[in-house]
Amino acid sequence: MIQGVKAKKLKVIPDSRGRLMEILRSDDEIFTEFGQVYITTAYPKIVKAWHYHKFQTDNFTCISGKIKLVLYDSRGGSPTFKEINEWTLSLDSPQLIQIPAEVYHGFKCLADKESIVINIISRPYNHQNPDEFRVDPYKNDINFDWRKI
């Protein structure tokens, strides 16, 4: 291998909703700067929601297919408490959406094929103690219905 070039074998983690693959973590041997970058996918009509992080900031973009990304502000002291924001993300309309800590978020695949999302996060994912808190996509206090998309 050329001097200075390093390789890391990546692991794809599939489930019934799609796949997830960690790309680069700040605690990797080859890391230089930032928290982590990973991809996550969703199959047609699948919803991956709702969750939030207490400390982590997410940065979402869709690189294949099309998704509806929805955010819900659950922060009691926020001037936008209980506000919902929606974006349709795809390569046809590329955007990066930064999601602050404690804001619920989720997405639904709108494409007729598997959609691929890249997430650049501010902290590496901790497998032993994840900064991730989930609620059911349909049974919750969030005034949003994924079935209507």
**Residue carrying the six token digits 């509806």:** 68
Let me know if residue 149 belongs to a domain: no
Q: How far apart are CA 114 and CA 95, in angstroms?
A: 19
Structural domain total, the chain: 1
Q: How far apart are CA 75 and CA 60, in angstroms?
A: 20
Let me know if residue 4 belongs to a domain: no
pLDDT in tens, 33-77: 589 999 999 999 999 999 999 999 999 889 899 999 999 999 899
CATH of the domain at 108: 2.60.120.10
pTM score: 0.84
Let me know if residue 110 belongs to a domain: yes
Let me know if residue 141 belongs to a domain: no
Specify the amino acid at residue 38.
Y
Q: What are the CA-CA distances from residue 146 to residues 16, 38, 67, 95, 129 (Å)? A: 18, 24, 12, 21, 29
Domain limits for position 82: 40-124
The number of angstroms, rounded, from the C-alpha of 1 to the middle of its chain's C-alpha atoms is 33
Let me know if residue 131 belongs to a domain: no
Let me know if residue 49 belongs to a domain: yes
